[in-house]
Structure 1
Protein backbone atom coordinates (compact mmCIF):
# COMPACT_ATOMS: atom_id res chain seq x y z
CA UNK A 1 0.00 0.00 0.00
CA UNK A 2 1.33 3.45 -0.93
CA UNK A 3 2.19 5.63 2.03
CA UNK A 4 0.20 8.88 2.17
CA UNK A 5 1.90 12.24 2.40
CA UNK A 6 2.25 13.73 5.86
CA UNK A 7 0.59 17.05 6.56
CA UNK A 8 -2.13 19.16 5.00
CA UNK A 9 -2.57 19.79 1.30
CA UNK A 10 -2.40 23.55 1.85
CA UNK A 11 -1.51 25.74 -1.12
CA UNK A 12 -0.60 29.41 -1.39
CA UNK A 13 2.11 31.90 -0.48
CA UNK A 14 3.21 33.04 2.96
CA UNK A 15 5.29 36.21 2.83
CA UNK A 16 7.84 36.33 5.62
CA UNK A 17 9.80 39.37 6.76
CA UNK A 18 12.99 37.43 7.46
CA UNK A 19 15.14 38.59 10.35
CA UNK A 20 18.93 38.47 10.37
CA UNK A 21 20.66 35.42 11.77
CA UNK A 22 18.57 32.67 10.19
CA UNK A 23 18.90 30.83 6.88
CA UNK A 24 16.22 30.84 4.21
CA UNK A 25 15.96 27.07 4.53
CA UNK A 26 15.28 27.37 8.26
CA UNK A 27 12.47 29.85 7.54
CA UNK A 28 10.89 27.44 5.06
CA UNK A 29 11.11 24.58 7.53
CA UNK A 30 9.48 26.70 10.26
CA UNK A 31 6.65 27.75 7.94
CA UNK A 32 6.09 24.18 6.79
CA UNK A 33 5.87 23.02 10.41
CA UNK A 34 3.65 25.92 11.50
CA UNK A 35 1.12 25.23 8.74
CA UNK A 36 1.51 21.44 8.91
CA UNK A 37 2.00 21.63 5.14
CA UNK A 38 2.94 18.72 2.91
CA UNK A 39 5.24 20.76 0.69
CA UNK A 40 7.05 24.09 0.87
CA UNK A 41 9.83 26.00 -0.86
CA UNK A 42 11.05 29.58 -1.30
CA UNK A 43 11.50 31.94 -4.22
CA UNK A 44 15.01 33.33 -3.91
CA UNK A 45 17.55 32.77 -1.14
CA UNK A 46 18.52 35.49 1.29
CA UNK A 47 21.87 35.30 3.08
CA UNK A 48 21.56 34.56 6.82
CA UNK A 49 22.64 38.12 7.68
CA UNK A 50 20.10 39.67 5.26
CA UNK A 51 16.56 40.69 6.16
CA UNK A 52 13.36 41.34 4.25
CA UNK A 53 10.88 39.60 2.05
CA UNK A 54 11.20 35.84 1.70
CA UNK A 55 8.29 34.41 -0.26
CA UNK A 56 7.47 30.87 0.88
CA UNK A 57 5.44 28.75 -1.53
CA UNK A 58 3.23 25.98 -0.20
CA UNK A 59 1.71 23.00 -2.00
CA UNK A 60 0.67 23.76 -5.56
CA UNK A 61 2.15 27.26 -5.31
CA UNK A 62 5.62 25.68 -5.53
CA UNK A 63 4.87 25.19 -9.23
CA UNK A 64 4.77 28.99 -9.65
CA UNK A 65 8.14 29.65 -7.96
CA UNK A 66 10.00 30.27 -11.27
CA UNK A 67 7.69 33.21 -12.01
CA UNK A 68 8.79 34.90 -8.76
CA UNK A 69 12.48 34.06 -9.05
CA UNK A 70 12.47 35.54 -12.56
CA UNK A 71 10.75 38.76 -11.38
CA UNK A 72 12.53 42.00 -10.49
CA UNK A 73 13.62 42.46 -6.87
CA UNK A 74 14.46 45.54 -4.82
CA UNK A 75 17.30 45.70 -2.28
CA UNK A 76 18.38 48.44 0.11
CA UNK A 77 21.87 48.05 1.49
CA UNK A 78 24.53 49.97 3.33
CA UNK A 79 28.03 49.93 1.85
CA UNK A 80 30.98 50.53 4.13
CA UNK A 81 33.97 52.02 2.32
CA UNK A 82 37.60 51.53 3.27
CA UNK A 83 37.84 47.76 3.69
CA UNK A 84 37.49 44.56 1.67
CA UNK A 85 36.47 41.36 3.47
CA UNK A 86 36.64 37.65 2.73
CA UNK A 87 32.85 37.44 2.42
CA UNK A 88 32.23 40.88 0.88
CA UNK A 89 30.08 41.71 3.91
CA UNK A 90 30.56 42.53 7.57
CA UNK A 91 30.59 38.83 8.54
CA UNK A 92 34.02 38.23 7.01
CA UNK A 93 37.59 39.03 7.95
CA UNK A 94 39.16 42.24 6.65
CA UNK A 95 41.74 41.42 3.97
CA UNK A 96 42.63 44.92 2.72
CA UNK A 97 42.06 48.55 3.70
CA UNK A 98 42.17 51.92 1.96
CA UNK A 99 42.30 55.45 3.34
CA UNK A 100 40.59 57.24 0.44
CA UNK A 101 36.86 57.95 0.37
CA UNK A 102 34.77 58.93 -2.67
CA UNK A 103 32.88 62.18 -2.97
CA UNK A 104 29.13 62.00 -3.51
CA UNK A 105 29.59 63.10 -7.13
CA UNK A 106 32.22 60.43 -7.77
CA UNK A 107 30.00 57.80 -6.19
CA UNK A 108 26.98 58.76 -8.30
CA UNK A 109 29.10 58.77 -11.44
CA UNK A 110 30.49 55.31 -10.67
CA UNK A 111 27.03 53.80 -10.26
CA UNK A 112 26.35 54.16 -13.99
CA UNK A 113 28.70 51.28 -14.82
CA UNK A 114 26.57 48.97 -12.68
CA UNK A 115 23.24 49.63 -14.43
CA UNK A 116 21.73 47.73 -17.34
CA UNK A 117 23.12 44.38 -18.48
CA UNK A 118 26.29 43.75 -16.51
CA UNK A 119 28.60 40.85 -15.67
CA UNK A 120 29.38 40.14 -12.04
CA UNK A 121 31.58 37.59 -10.30
CA UNK A 122 29.83 35.92 -7.34
CA UNK A 123 31.39 36.27 -3.90
CA UNK A 124 33.85 33.61 -2.79
CA UNK A 125 31.36 32.73 -0.05
CA UNK A 126 28.31 31.99 -2.20
CA UNK A 127 26.08 29.04 -3.09
CA UNK A 128 27.55 28.76 -6.60
CA UNK A 129 28.57 25.20 -7.38
CA UNK A 130 32.19 24.42 -8.34
CA UNK A 131 32.77 20.84 -9.50
CA UNK A 132 29.67 19.77 -7.60
CA UNK A 133 30.57 21.56 -4.37
CA UNK A 134 29.27 24.85 -2.97
CA UNK A 135 31.70 27.73 -3.23
CA UNK A 136 31.23 28.65 0.43
CA UNK A 137 32.30 25.16 1.53
CA UNK A 138 35.50 25.40 -0.52
CA UNK A 139 36.12 28.98 0.66
CA UNK A 140 35.82 27.90 4.30
CA UNK A 141 38.60 25.40 3.63
CA UNK A 142 40.83 28.28 2.52
CA UNK A 143 40.61 27.64 -1.21
CA UNK A 144 40.69 30.71 -3.46
CA UNK A 145 38.20 30.19 -6.27
CA UNK A 146 38.27 31.47 -9.83
CA UNK A 147 34.52 32.00 -10.28
CA UNK A 148 33.16 32.80 -13.72
CA UNK A 149 31.25 36.07 -14.18
CA UNK A 150 27.50 35.83 -14.56
CA UNK A 151 25.06 38.12 -16.38
CA UNK A 152 22.76 40.33 -14.32
CA UNK A 153 20.14 42.87 -15.34
CA UNK A 154 20.24 45.92 -13.06
CA UNK A 155 17.11 47.96 -13.64
CA UNK A 156 18.20 50.77 -11.33
CA UNK A 157 20.93 51.55 -8.79
CA UNK A 158 20.71 54.79 -6.83
CA UNK A 159 22.38 56.56 -3.93
CA UNK A 160 19.70 57.11 -1.27
CA UNK A 161 21.72 58.58 1.58
CA UNK A 162 25.32 59.37 2.53
CA UNK A 163 25.33 59.43 6.36
CA UNK A 164 29.10 59.97 6.51
CA UNK A 165 32.20 59.53 4.29
CA UNK A 166 32.54 55.87 5.31
CA UNK A 167 29.02 54.78 4.38
CA UNK A 168 26.51 54.96 1.54
CA UNK A 169 22.91 53.72 1.50
CA UNK A 170 22.04 52.35 -1.94
CA UNK A 171 18.90 50.92 -3.53
CA UNK A 172 19.05 48.43 -6.39
CA UNK A 173 16.31 46.87 -8.51
CA UNK A 174 17.60 43.87 -10.42
CA UNK A 175 16.73 40.55 -12.02
CA UNK A 176 17.43 37.08 -10.69
CA UNK A 177 20.86 35.84 -9.72
CA UNK A 178 22.22 39.12 -8.44
CA UNK A 179 24.70 39.38 -5.57
CA UNK A 180 24.47 42.66 -3.69
CA UNK A 181 27.78 41.81 -2.00
CA UNK A 182 29.45 41.73 -5.42
CA UNK A 183 28.03 45.17 -6.23
CA UNK A 184 29.52 46.62 -3.03
CA UNK A 185 32.86 44.90 -3.62
CA UNK A 186 33.14 45.98 -7.26
CA UNK A 187 31.91 49.50 -6.58
CA UNK A 188 34.56 49.94 -3.88
CA UNK A 189 37.22 48.63 -6.24
CA UNK A 190 36.09 50.96 -9.03
CA UNK A 191 36.27 53.94 -6.68
CA UNK A 192 39.68 52.89 -5.38
CA UNK A 193 38.49 52.84 -1.78
CA UNK A 194 37.38 49.18 -1.37
CA UNK A 195 34.02 48.30 0.14
CA UNK A 196 31.69 45.69 1.55
CA UNK A 197 28.04 45.33 2.59
CA UNK A 198 27.29 46.36 6.16
CA UNK A 199 23.64 45.31 6.04
CA UNK A 200 21.13 44.25 3.39
CA UNK A 201 17.35 44.20 3.16
CA UNK A 202 15.12 42.91 0.33
CA UNK A 203 12.25 45.38 0.14
CA UNK A 204 10.19 43.54 -2.46
CA UNK A 205 10.30 40.59 -4.82
CA UNK A 206 7.84 40.63 -7.73
CA UNK A 207 4.37 41.19 -6.20
CA UNK A 208 5.51 40.55 -2.62
CA UNK A 209 6.58 43.34 -0.23
CA UNK A 210 8.40 43.04 3.09
CA UNK A 211 5.97 45.47 4.72
CA UNK A 212 3.19 42.93 4.09
CA UNK A 213 5.24 40.06 5.50
CA UNK A 214 4.63 38.14 8.68
CA UNK A 215 7.37 37.99 11.32
CA UNK A 216 8.92 34.82 12.68
CA UNK A 217 7.50 35.75 16.09
CA UNK A 218 3.97 35.80 14.63
CA UNK A 219 4.57 32.47 12.94
CA UNK A 220 5.52 30.99 16.31
CA UNK A 221 2.48 32.54 17.99
CA UNK A 222 0.00 31.39 15.33
CA UNK A 223 1.58 28.01 14.57
CA UNK A 224 -0.85 25.13 14.03
CA UNK A 225 -3.83 27.50 14.26
CA UNK A 226 -6.47 28.45 11.64
CA UNK A 227 -5.51 32.10 12.06
CA UNK A 228 -2.16 31.51 10.37
CA UNK A 229 -4.03 30.36 7.25
CA UNK A 230 -5.59 33.83 6.96
CA UNK A 231 -2.12 35.22 6.13
CA UNK A 232 -1.80 33.00 3.05
CA UNK A 233 -1.98 34.61 -0.36
CA UNK A 234 -3.43 32.64 -3.30
CA UNK A 235 -1.03 30.96 -5.71
CA UNK A 236 -2.52 33.03 -8.53
CA UNK A 237 -0.77 36.16 -7.23
CA UNK A 238 2.51 34.77 -8.61
CA UNK A 239 1.00 34.71 -12.10
CA UNK A 240 0.15 38.41 -12.32
CA UNK A 241 2.65 38.98 -15.14
CA UNK A 242 1.03 36.32 -17.36
CA UNK A 243 -2.15 36.83 -19.41
CA UNK A 244 -5.16 34.91 -18.11
CA UNK A 245 -7.48 32.75 -20.19
CA UNK A 246 -10.65 30.97 -19.09
CA UNK A 247 -11.09 27.28 -19.75
CA UNK A 248 -14.40 25.91 -20.99
CA UNK A 249 -15.85 23.08 -18.88
CA UNK A 250 -14.74 20.53 -21.45
CA UNK A 251 -11.38 22.24 -21.87
CA UNK A 252 -10.81 22.30 -18.11
CA UNK A 253 -11.35 18.53 -17.88
CA UNK A 254 -8.75 17.94 -20.60
CA UNK A 255 -6.25 20.47 -19.23
CA UNK A 256 -6.42 18.98 -15.73
CA UNK A 257 -5.31 15.68 -17.28
CA UNK A 258 -2.36 17.36 -18.96
CA UNK A 259 -3.92 17.56 -22.42
CA UNK A 260 -4.58 20.61 -24.64
CA UNK A 261 -8.00 22.07 -23.92
CA UNK A 262 -10.25 24.80 -25.26
CA UNK A 263 -10.04 28.22 -23.59
CA UNK A 264 -11.67 31.60 -24.02
CA UNK A 265 -9.13 34.32 -24.76
CA UNK A 266 -9.01 37.78 -26.26
CA UNK A 267 -6.09 39.52 -27.98
CA UNK A 268 -3.54 36.84 -27.12
CA UNK A 269 -1.01 35.84 -29.75
CA UNK A 270 -0.21 32.28 -30.73
CA UNK A 271 2.50 30.77 -28.53
CA UNK A 272 2.11 33.22 -25.64
CA UNK A 273 2.63 31.78 -22.16
CA UNK A 274 -0.61 32.17 -20.20
CA UNK A 275 -2.42 30.72 -17.22
CA UNK A 276 -5.88 29.21 -17.36
CA UNK A 277 -8.63 29.49 -14.79
CA UNK A 278 -11.82 27.53 -14.26
CA UNK A 279 -14.48 28.53 -11.79
CA UNK A 280 -12.22 31.27 -10.49
CA UNK A 281 -9.19 29.08 -9.74
CA UNK A 282 -5.93 28.54 -11.62
CA UNK A 283 -5.76 25.11 -13.22
CA UNK A 284 -2.63 25.32 -15.39
CA UNK A 285 0.16 27.32 -17.00
CA UNK A 286 0.95 26.73 -20.65
CA UNK A 287 1.10 28.05 -24.20
CA UNK A 288 -1.90 29.46 -26.04
CA UNK A 289 -2.28 27.95 -29.49
CA UNK A 290 -5.29 28.32 -31.77
CA UNK A 291 -7.93 28.53 -29.06
CA UNK A 292 -6.35 25.90 -26.84
CA UNK A 293 -4.05 25.88 -23.84
CA UNK A 294 -1.18 23.42 -24.12
CA UNK A 295 -0.31 22.93 -20.43
CA UNK A 296 3.23 22.81 -19.07
CA UNK A 297 2.23 22.97 -15.39
CA UNK A 298 -1.06 21.64 -14.06
CA UNK A 299 -2.44 22.52 -10.62
CA UNK A 300 -4.23 19.83 -8.66
Structure 2
Protein backbone atom coordinates (compact mmCIF):
# COMPACT_ATOMS: atom_id res chain seq x y z
CA UNK A 1 0.00 0.00 0.00
CA UNK A 2 1.30 3.44 -0.89
CA UNK A 3 1.95 5.79 2.01
CA UNK A 4 -0.38 8.81 2.07
CA UNK A 5 1.10 11.97 0.62
CA UNK A 6 2.04 14.62 3.15
CA UNK A 7 -0.02 17.74 2.67
CA UNK A 8 2.02 20.96 2.59
CA UNK A 9 0.90 23.28 5.37
CA UNK A 10 0.53 26.71 3.77
CA UNK A 11 1.24 29.87 5.74
CA UNK A 12 1.12 33.64 5.27
CA UNK A 13 4.31 34.87 3.62
CA UNK A 14 4.75 38.52 2.63
CA UNK A 15 7.49 39.93 0.43
CA UNK A 16 9.27 39.90 -2.92
CA UNK A 17 11.65 37.23 -4.16
CA UNK A 18 14.02 38.32 -6.92
CA UNK A 19 14.44 35.13 -8.91
CA UNK A 20 16.89 34.52 -11.74
CA UNK A 21 14.49 32.52 -13.92
CA UNK A 22 16.17 29.52 -15.50
CA UNK A 23 16.08 28.60 -19.17
CA UNK A 24 13.21 26.39 -20.28
CA UNK A 25 10.85 27.08 -17.39
CA UNK A 26 7.75 29.21 -17.77
CA UNK A 27 7.30 32.13 -15.39
CA UNK A 28 4.31 30.38 -13.81
CA UNK A 29 6.27 27.16 -13.30
CA UNK A 30 9.02 29.13 -11.55
CA UNK A 31 6.43 30.92 -9.42
CA UNK A 32 4.71 27.70 -8.36
CA UNK A 33 8.05 26.10 -7.45
CA UNK A 34 9.07 29.08 -5.28
CA UNK A 35 5.58 29.21 -3.73
CA UNK A 36 5.87 25.53 -2.79
CA UNK A 37 9.36 25.99 -1.33
CA UNK A 38 8.12 28.88 0.83
CA UNK A 39 4.82 27.12 1.68
CA UNK A 40 3.20 30.46 0.82
CA UNK A 41 -0.56 30.92 0.74
CA UNK A 42 -0.68 33.55 -2.00
CA UNK A 43 1.71 34.41 -4.82
CA UNK A 44 1.93 36.22 -8.15
CA UNK A 45 4.54 37.60 -10.54
CA UNK A 46 5.13 40.98 -12.12
CA UNK A 47 4.99 40.04 -15.78
CA UNK A 48 6.11 36.94 -17.60
CA UNK A 49 9.31 35.91 -19.29
CA UNK A 50 9.26 33.46 -22.20
CA UNK A 51 10.48 29.92 -21.37
CA UNK A 52 13.53 30.59 -23.57
CA UNK A 53 14.35 33.78 -21.62
CA UNK A 54 16.28 33.97 -18.37
CA UNK A 55 16.84 36.68 -15.79
CA UNK A 56 15.12 38.99 -13.38
CA UNK A 57 11.66 37.76 -12.38
CA UNK A 58 10.26 39.45 -9.25
CA UNK A 59 7.85 37.08 -7.48
CA UNK A 60 5.35 38.57 -5.05
CA UNK A 61 3.93 36.86 -1.99
CA UNK A 62 1.05 37.78 0.28
CA UNK A 63 0.63 41.54 0.71
CA UNK A 64 3.21 42.24 -2.01
CA UNK A 65 0.81 40.86 -4.66
CA UNK A 66 -1.29 44.01 -4.20
CA UNK A 67 1.50 46.07 -5.76
CA UNK A 68 2.74 43.70 -8.49
CA UNK A 69 0.91 45.69 -11.19
CA UNK A 70 3.34 48.57 -10.62
CA UNK A 71 6.18 46.52 -12.08
CA UNK A 72 4.20 45.46 -15.11
CA UNK A 73 4.50 49.11 -16.10
CA UNK A 74 8.20 49.47 -15.21
CA UNK A 75 10.99 50.04 -17.73
CA UNK A 76 13.04 46.91 -18.35
CA UNK A 77 16.55 46.16 -19.64
CA UNK A 78 17.32 43.13 -21.81
CA UNK A 79 20.37 41.56 -23.38
CA UNK A 80 19.77 39.42 -26.45
CA UNK A 81 21.65 37.58 -29.17
CA UNK A 82 20.09 37.79 -32.64
CA UNK A 83 21.20 35.60 -35.53
CA UNK A 84 21.25 37.49 -38.81
CA UNK A 85 20.24 35.93 -42.11
CA UNK A 86 17.70 33.49 -40.67
CA UNK A 87 14.01 34.19 -39.99
CA UNK A 88 11.81 31.83 -37.98
CA UNK A 89 8.06 31.47 -37.58
CA UNK A 90 8.17 32.70 -33.97
CA UNK A 91 11.02 35.21 -34.11
CA UNK A 92 13.12 33.04 -31.80
CA UNK A 93 14.89 29.67 -31.75
CA UNK A 94 11.68 27.76 -30.96
CA UNK A 95 10.17 28.38 -34.39
CA UNK A 96 10.74 26.79 -37.76
CA UNK A 97 13.11 28.41 -40.23
CA UNK A 98 11.00 30.21 -42.84
CA UNK A 99 13.64 32.19 -44.74
CA UNK A 100 17.40 32.44 -45.22
CA UNK A 101 19.21 35.43 -46.71
CA UNK A 102 22.86 36.38 -47.18
CA UNK A 103 24.42 38.65 -44.56
CA UNK A 104 26.54 41.62 -45.57
CA UNK A 105 26.60 43.95 -42.56
CA UNK A 106 29.33 46.32 -41.41
CA UNK A 107 29.84 48.57 -38.38
CA UNK A 108 28.30 51.53 -40.19
CA UNK A 109 25.13 49.54 -40.85
CA UNK A 110 24.85 48.63 -37.17
CA UNK A 111 25.34 52.26 -36.09
CA UNK A 112 22.68 53.45 -38.55
CA UNK A 113 20.13 50.89 -37.39
CA UNK A 114 20.94 51.53 -33.73
CA UNK A 115 20.11 55.21 -34.17
CA UNK A 116 16.93 54.40 -36.10
CA UNK A 117 15.54 52.20 -33.33
CA UNK A 118 16.44 54.44 -30.39
CA UNK A 119 13.64 56.58 -28.99
CA UNK A 120 9.89 56.35 -29.70
CA UNK A 121 9.07 53.65 -32.25
CA UNK A 122 6.03 51.67 -33.39
CA UNK A 123 5.87 47.89 -33.12
CA UNK A 124 3.42 45.38 -34.51
CA UNK A 125 2.95 42.77 -31.72
CA UNK A 126 4.05 39.25 -32.72
CA UNK A 127 1.51 36.52 -33.43
CA UNK A 128 3.22 34.36 -30.83
CA UNK A 129 2.17 36.50 -27.87
CA UNK A 130 -0.48 36.47 -25.16
CA UNK A 131 -2.23 39.59 -26.46
CA UNK A 132 -5.88 38.93 -27.16
CA UNK A 133 -8.05 39.60 -30.19
CA UNK A 134 -11.77 38.92 -29.93
CA UNK A 135 -11.17 37.22 -26.58
CA UNK A 136 -8.57 34.80 -27.93
CA UNK A 137 -4.79 34.93 -27.41
CA UNK A 138 -2.78 35.64 -30.55
CA UNK A 139 -0.64 32.55 -30.02
CA UNK A 140 -3.79 30.42 -30.26
CA UNK A 141 -4.46 31.81 -33.74
CA UNK A 142 -0.79 31.20 -34.62
CA UNK A 143 -1.00 27.55 -33.53
CA UNK A 144 -3.94 27.15 -35.94
CA UNK A 145 -1.81 28.58 -38.75
CA UNK A 146 -3.77 31.83 -38.84
CA UNK A 147 -2.42 35.36 -38.92
CA UNK A 148 -4.72 38.16 -37.78
CA UNK A 149 -4.33 41.90 -38.15
CA UNK A 150 -2.61 43.61 -35.20
CA UNK A 151 -2.56 47.35 -34.61
CA UNK A 152 0.91 48.90 -34.20
CA UNK A 153 1.77 49.99 -30.67
CA UNK A 154 3.80 52.99 -29.56
CA UNK A 155 6.76 52.03 -27.37
CA UNK A 156 10.00 53.73 -26.35
CA UNK A 157 13.52 52.34 -26.65
CA UNK A 158 15.26 54.43 -24.01
CA UNK A 159 18.72 53.14 -24.87
CA UNK A 160 20.03 50.66 -27.40
CA UNK A 161 23.40 49.19 -28.30
CA UNK A 162 24.03 46.75 -31.16
CA UNK A 163 27.41 45.08 -31.50
CA UNK A 164 28.72 42.40 -33.85
CA UNK A 165 29.83 39.05 -32.46
CA UNK A 166 33.23 38.27 -34.02
CA UNK A 167 33.38 35.17 -36.19
CA UNK A 168 29.63 34.75 -36.60
CA UNK A 169 26.50 36.30 -38.03
CA UNK A 170 25.22 37.02 -34.52
CA UNK A 171 24.73 40.48 -33.04
CA UNK A 172 24.39 41.39 -29.37
CA UNK A 173 21.53 43.73 -28.46
CA UNK A 174 21.21 45.55 -25.15
CA UNK A 175 18.06 47.62 -24.76
CA UNK A 176 16.26 49.50 -22.01
CA UNK A 177 12.62 49.71 -23.03
CA UNK A 178 9.19 50.91 -21.97
CA UNK A 179 6.36 48.56 -21.04
CA UNK A 180 4.79 46.67 -23.93
CA UNK A 181 8.01 46.34 -25.93
CA UNK A 182 8.67 42.95 -27.54
CA UNK A 183 12.37 42.20 -27.78
CA UNK A 184 11.73 39.39 -30.27
CA UNK A 185 9.99 41.89 -32.52
CA UNK A 186 12.80 44.41 -32.01
CA UNK A 187 15.32 41.75 -33.08
CA UNK A 188 13.27 40.87 -36.15
CA UNK A 189 12.80 44.53 -37.11
CA UNK A 190 16.53 45.20 -36.73
CA UNK A 191 17.22 42.23 -39.00
CA UNK A 192 14.83 43.57 -41.63
CA UNK A 193 16.41 47.04 -41.40
CA UNK A 194 19.79 45.38 -42.05
CA UNK A 195 18.34 43.70 -45.12
CA UNK A 196 18.88 40.11 -44.05
CA UNK A 197 16.29 39.21 -41.42
CA UNK A 198 17.03 37.82 -37.95
CA UNK A 199 15.71 35.82 -35.03
CA UNK A 200 16.63 35.70 -31.34
CA UNK A 201 18.74 32.82 -30.10
CA UNK A 202 19.13 34.07 -26.52
CA UNK A 203 17.28 36.55 -24.31
CA UNK A 204 17.98 37.68 -20.76
CA UNK A 205 16.27 40.33 -18.65
CA UNK A 206 18.95 42.05 -16.59
CA UNK A 207 16.82 44.69 -14.85
CA UNK A 208 13.21 45.65 -14.22
CA UNK A 209 12.28 48.85 -12.44
CA UNK A 210 14.89 49.26 -9.70
CA UNK A 211 15.71 45.54 -9.51
CA UNK A 212 18.93 44.16 -11.06
CA UNK A 213 20.20 40.68 -11.87
CA UNK A 214 22.91 41.01 -9.20
CA UNK A 215 20.16 40.92 -6.54
CA UNK A 216 18.63 37.68 -7.82
CA UNK A 217 18.90 34.12 -6.56
CA UNK A 218 18.75 31.09 -8.84
CA UNK A 219 16.01 28.53 -8.33
CA UNK A 220 18.62 25.84 -7.65
CA UNK A 221 20.28 27.94 -4.96
CA UNK A 222 16.92 28.82 -3.43
CA UNK A 223 15.93 25.16 -3.29
CA UNK A 224 19.21 24.28 -1.54
CA UNK A 225 18.52 26.77 1.29
CA UNK A 226 16.82 25.94 4.56
CA UNK A 227 13.53 27.62 5.46
CA UNK A 228 15.00 30.53 7.39
CA UNK A 229 17.46 31.29 4.58
CA UNK A 230 14.63 31.32 2.05
CA UNK A 231 12.61 33.76 4.12
CA UNK A 232 15.69 35.95 4.52
CA UNK A 233 15.88 36.31 0.71
CA UNK A 234 12.51 38.08 0.62
CA UNK A 235 12.48 41.85 0.19
CA UNK A 236 9.65 43.74 1.92
CA UNK A 237 6.54 44.65 -0.07
CA UNK A 238 7.58 48.31 0.10
CA UNK A 239 10.53 47.52 -2.21
CA UNK A 240 7.98 47.57 -5.05
CA UNK A 241 7.28 51.26 -4.39
CA UNK A 242 10.83 52.48 -3.81
CA UNK A 243 10.40 55.22 -6.42
CA UNK A 244 7.22 56.62 -4.79
CA UNK A 245 7.08 59.81 -2.73
CA UNK A 246 7.17 58.83 0.97
CA UNK A 247 4.66 60.04 3.54
CA UNK A 248 4.75 59.00 7.20
CA UNK A 249 1.66 59.23 9.41
CA UNK A 250 1.24 59.26 13.17
CA UNK A 251 -0.68 56.44 14.87
CA UNK A 252 -4.11 58.13 14.78
CA UNK A 253 -3.86 59.25 11.14
CA UNK A 254 -2.42 55.85 10.16
CA UNK A 255 -5.43 54.07 11.63
CA UNK A 256 -7.87 56.34 9.82
CA UNK A 257 -5.92 56.05 6.56
CA UNK A 258 -6.05 52.23 6.78
CA UNK A 259 -9.83 52.43 7.13
CA UNK A 260 -9.91 54.23 3.78
CA UNK A 261 -10.26 57.80 5.01
CA UNK A 262 -8.47 60.69 3.33
CA UNK A 263 -6.03 62.69 5.45
CA UNK A 264 -5.15 66.36 5.07
CA UNK A 265 -1.64 67.74 5.38
CA UNK A 266 0.98 69.98 3.89
CA UNK A 267 1.97 67.59 1.15
CA UNK A 268 2.54 68.63 -2.43
CA UNK A 269 0.60 66.97 -5.22
CA UNK A 270 1.99 63.56 -6.16
CA UNK A 271 0.51 60.77 -8.28
CA UNK A 272 2.42 57.99 -6.51
CA UNK A 273 2.90 57.94 -2.73
CA UNK A 274 4.12 55.20 -0.39
CA UNK A 275 2.53 55.64 3.02
CA UNK A 276 4.11 54.51 6.31
CA UNK A 277 3.06 54.49 9.93
CA UNK A 278 5.62 55.69 12.48
CA UNK A 279 4.63 53.73 15.62
CA UNK A 280 5.81 51.14 14.82
CA UNK A 281 7.34 52.02 11.47
CA UNK A 282 5.46 49.96 8.92
CA UNK A 283 4.35 50.13 5.30
CA UNK A 284 0.62 50.83 5.03
CA UNK A 285 0.04 51.04 1.29
CA UNK A 286 -0.10 53.46 -1.62
CA UNK A 287 -1.94 56.72 -2.21
CA UNK A 288 -1.83 59.91 -4.21
CA UNK A 289 -1.88 63.51 -3.03
CA UNK A 290 -4.13 66.13 -4.59
CA UNK A 291 -4.76 69.61 -3.15
CA UNK A 292 -3.27 68.63 0.21
CA UNK A 293 -5.36 65.47 0.55
CA UNK A 294 -3.76 62.05 0.93
CA UNK A 295 -6.12 59.74 -0.96
CA UNK A 296 -5.78 55.98 -0.25
CA UNK A 297 -4.96 53.55 -3.07
CA UNK A 298 -3.97 49.92 -2.42
CA UNK A 299 -3.81 49.23 1.32
CA UNK A 300 -2.46 46.44 3.48
CA UNK A 301 -4.96 44.86 5.85
CA UNK A 302 -4.37 45.05 9.62
CA UNK A 303 -3.67 41.31 9.71
CA UNK A 304 -1.09 41.63 6.91
CA UNK A 305 0.64 44.43 8.81
CA UNK A 306 0.63 42.38 12.00
CA UNK A 307 2.06 39.32 10.25
CA UNK A 308 4.76 41.46 8.58
CA UNK A 309 5.78 43.00 11.90
CA UNK A 310 5.96 39.56 13.54
CA UNK A 311 8.13 38.27 10.70
CA UNK A 312 10.48 41.26 10.95
CA UNK A 313 10.74 40.79 14.71
CA UNK A 314 11.75 37.13 14.33
CA UNK A 315 15.54 36.76 14.37
TM-score of the superposition, structure 2-length normalised?
0.88
Structure 1 counterpart of 2:41: 38
Structure 2 counterpart of 1:241: 243
User: 5+ residue gaps in structure 1?
Assistant: 1-5
Instruction: Indicate if the aligned counterparts of 1:251 and 1:260 stay in contact, CA closer than 8 A.
Output: no
Structure 2 counterpart of 1:216: 219
Secondary structure of 1:8's counterpart equals: coil
Mapping of residues 49-128 of structure 1, within 5 Å: 49-128=52-131
* C-alpha RMSD of matched pairs (Å): 1.6
Structure 1 counterpart of 2:271: 272
**CA apart distance, 1:273:** 2.4
Instruction: Indicate if the aligned counterparts of 1:287 and 1:293 stay in contact, CA closer than 8 A.
Output: yes
TM-superposition CA deviations, 1:218-239 (whole Å, max 9, x none): 232236x122000001111111
Q: Distance in 2 between matches of 1:163 and 1:124?
A: 32
**CA apart distance, 1:164:** 3.3
Secondary structure of 1:163's counterpart equals: coil
Structure 2 counterpart of 1:281: 282
Instruction: Indicate if the aligned counterparts of 2:268 and 2:292 stay in contact, CA closer than 8 A.
Output: no
Instruction: Indicate if the aligned counterparts of 1:40 and 1:57 stay in contact, CA closer than 8 A.
Output: yes
Secondary structure of 1:37's counterpart equals: coil
Structure 2 counterpart of 1:298: 299
Mapping of residues 185-200 of structure 1, within 5 Å: 185-200=188-203
Displaced runs of 4 or more, over 3 A = 289-292
Instruction: Indicate if the aligned counterparts of 1:247 and 1:261 stay in contact, CA closer than 8 A.
Output: no
TM-score of the superposition, structure 1-length normalised?
0.92
User: 5+ residue gaps in structure 2?
Assistant: 1-8, 302-315
**CA apart distance, 1:162:** 2.7
Structure 2 counterpart of 1:3: none
Which of 180, 183, 189 in structure 2 is aligned with 1:177?
Answer: 180
Aligned residues: 291
Secondary structure of 2:229's counterpart equals: helix
Change (3 A) 1:157 1:80: same
